[in-house]
C-alpha cells in the first residue's frame, strides 16, 4: 500500500470515528515558539537542550545521546512550515542546519550505541527533507561507526562500555531505536551487513529481553567471550523485574519500524505483543507511570515522554496491521494519548516552562523532587512533534511535504 493510500485509509477512519478536536496548528506553533526561543537566546550552538524543571534547559555537548533531538525537532518544524507554507520556513531550515552541523564529528564515534538517535534525528531528517548529499554521507559513516560495536559472538550491538571490554557486554532495550540507522544505511549505499546486524540484534533482543507477559527488561549483561547471558537488571526502572514504561515503548516503536523496513512478520508480532502489554497497564488518562510496577500514579511520577513515543508507535502500527480491528484500536490508542498530551496539565504554552510537554521522567525515582523525575525532556517534545506531524499527514493526506 502506498503512503497516500495508507493516509486515505486512516483519514477515513478518523472521520468515521469522530476523532476531531486536535488543534495541530496551535500545538506545533506553541512548540515552535519554545524551540525558537532557545535558539534565539543561546549563543553557544554547541550546547544542546537536555532537561528542564522550569523555564531553562540544562544543556549537554554534541557527544551526549540526546543531542540529536533538538535539531530533529527543528527539522520537524521546518517540515510543518513547508506543509503550511509559513513565510519563515527558510529560517527554520537554517536553524535546523546550524544545530545539525554541530553534530558532524559524532559520525566517527564508536564509544556509544546512540548514533541512531544522534544522527538519524538530525542528519537523517536533513537528508529526507532536502536531499543534500552531505547529510547522507554523515549518516552512512555513522552506520559504519555503530556497526563496530556489534559482536558476532553475542549477536548484539554493545550499548554501554568500552568497545574492547573483555568482561562485560551490556545491552539495553533502548538500542532497538538505533537499528534504523543501520537498516536505512544498508538501503542507501551501505553494505548489506548493516541490515544483517540490525536483524540479528532484534532477534536476540526478542529472545532475551521479553518476559512471558511481553513486558521488557531494561538491561542485560552478556559474556563477550561466549555470548552467554550473565544477568538481567534495570538502570532506569524501579526494580530488575519491574517494567520501565519508556523501555516498553522503545520496544514497541523499534519493532514496528523494523517490520515496516523489512516486511518480516515476526517484528510486527513482537511490536503488537509489547503494545498490548503496555496498553493493558495504562491508567485512564493514557499516560503511564515511569514504572508500571511502582504503584505511584500521581502526576509527578508519570512519564509523558513515554506516552508521546507510544503515540508515534501506535500510529505506525495502525498503518501496518493487516487486521482492521487492530488498525482501529491502535489508531484510537495513538489519538487518545495525543489528545491527552495536548491538554493541561501535560501541555504548557507558558514561558514558565522551557518545554511544551511536562511531567516526564528520565528515570523512575520515588522522590518527585529528584532531578531525574517530574521534569521535562527534549525528546518528549521531539516525539510529541513526530506524533503531531504523523497525525497531520494522516488526516490531511493532500499535504505536499513528506510525512515522518
**Measured distance CA(84)–CA(86) in Å, rounded:** 6
Q: Which residue has the cell 509523558?
A: 304
From residue 383, alpha-carbon distances to 34, 101, 156, 197 in Å are 15, 21, 26, 26
Q: Of the listed 9, 39, 114, 303, which one is catalytic?
A: 114
**Measured distance CA(242)–CA(238) in Å, rounded:** 6
Q: Which residues contact 189 (CB under 8 A, 6 or more apart)?
A: 136, 140
Q: Of the listed 174, 291, 303, 381, which one is catalytic?
A: 174
**Most distant pair of Cα atoms in the chain: their distance:** 58
Look at residue 172 and give its three-state secondary structure.
strand
**Measured distance CA(144)–CA(191) in Å, rounded:** 9
Which residue in 115, 103, 171 sits closest to 143, CA to CA? 115
**Measured distance CA(67)–CA(46) in Å, rounded:** 9
Q: Which residues contact 358 (CB under 8 A, 6 or more apart)?
A: 304, 345, 346, 347, 348, 376
Which residue in 344, 244, 238 sits closest to 299, CA to CA? 344
Q: Is 4 a catalytic residue?
A: no
From residue 376, alpha-carbon distances to 185, 306, 312 in Å are 32, 12, 18
**Measured distance CA(351)–CA(33) in Å, rounded:** 10
Cell numbers given for 393: 499527514
Q: Which residue has the cell 480491528?
A: 325
Percent helix / strand / coil, the chain, rounded to 5? 55, 10, 35
Q: Is 23 a catalytic residue?
A: no
Which residue in 311, 304, 342, 401 sits closest to 92, CA to CA? 401
User: 397 and 8 in contact (C-beta within 8 Å)?
Assistant: yes
Half-sphere exposure of 293 (CA within 13 A, CB side): 15
Q: Which residues have a catalytic role annotated?
A: 114, 174
Amino acid at each position: 500500500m502506498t503512503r497516500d493510500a495508507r493516509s486515505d485509509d486512516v483519514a477515513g477512519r478518523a472521520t468515521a470515528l469522530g476523532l476531531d478536536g486536535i488543534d495541530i496548528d496551535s500545538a506545533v506553533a506553541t512548540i515552535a515558539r519554545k524551540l525558537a526561543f532557545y535558539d534565539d537566546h543561546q549563543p553557544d550552538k554547541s550546547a544542546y537542550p537536555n532537561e528542564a524543571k522550569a523555564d531553562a534547559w540544562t544543556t549537554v555537548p554534541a557527544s551526549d545521546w540526546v543531542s540529536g533531538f533538538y535539531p530533529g525537532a527543528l527539522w520537524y518544524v521546518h517540515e510543518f512550515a513547508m506543509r503550511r507554507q509559513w513565510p519563515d520556513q527558510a529560517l527554520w531550515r537554517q536553524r535546523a542546519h546550524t544545530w545539525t552541523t554541530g553534530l558532524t564529528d559524532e559520525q566517527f564515534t564508536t564509544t556509544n550505541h546512540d548514533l541512531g538517535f544522534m544522527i538519524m534525528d538530525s542528519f537523517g531528517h536533513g537528508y529526507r527533507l532536502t536531499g543534500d548529499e552531505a547529510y547522507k554521507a554523515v549518516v552512512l559513516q555513522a552506520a559504519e561507526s555503530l556497526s563496530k560495536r556489534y559482536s558476532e559472538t553475542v549477536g548484539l550491538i554493545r550499548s554501554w562500555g568500552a568497545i574492547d571490554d573483555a568482561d562485560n557486554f551490556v545491552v539495553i532495550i533502548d538500542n532497538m531505536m538505533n537499528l534504523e540507522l543501520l537498516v536505512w544505511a544498508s538501503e542507501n549505499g551501505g553494505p548489506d551487513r548493516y541490515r544483517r546486524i540490525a536483524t540479528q540484534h532484534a532477534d536476540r533482543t526478542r529472545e532475551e529481553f521479553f518476559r512471558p507477559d511481553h513486558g521488557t527488561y531494561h538491561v542485560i549483561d552478556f559474556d563477550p567471550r561466549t555470548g552467554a547471558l550473565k544477568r538481567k537488571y534495570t538502570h532506569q526502572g524501579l526494580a530488575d523485574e519491574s517494567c520501565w514504561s519508556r523501555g516498553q515503548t522503545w520496544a514497541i516503536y523499534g519493532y514496528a519500524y523494523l517490520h515496516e523496513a523489512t516486511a518480516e512478520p515476526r517484528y510486527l508480532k513482537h511490536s503488537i505483543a509489547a503494545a498490548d502489554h503496555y496498553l493493558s497497564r495504562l491508567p485512564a488518562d493514557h499516560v503511564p507511570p515511569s514504572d508500571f510496577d511502582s504503584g505511584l500514579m500521581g502526576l509527578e511520577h508519570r512519564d509523558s515522554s513515554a506516552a508521546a513515543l507510544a503515540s508515534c508507535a501506535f500510529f505506525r502500527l495502525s498503518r501496518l496491521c493487516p487486521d482492521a480491528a487492530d488498525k482501529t484500536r491502535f489508531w484510537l490508542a495513538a489519538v487518545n494519548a495525543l489528545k491527552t498530551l495536548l491538554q493541561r496539565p501535560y501541555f504548557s504554552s507558558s514561558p514558565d516552562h522551557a518545554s511544551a510537554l511536562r511531567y516526564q521522567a528520565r528515570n523512575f525515582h520515588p522522590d518527585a523532587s529528584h532531578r531525574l523525575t517530574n521534569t521535562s525532556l527534549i525528546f518528549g517534545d521531539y516525539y510529541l512533534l513526530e506524533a503531531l506531524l504523523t497525525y497531520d499527514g494522516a488526516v490531511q493526506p493532500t499535504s505536499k511535504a513528506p510525512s515522518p
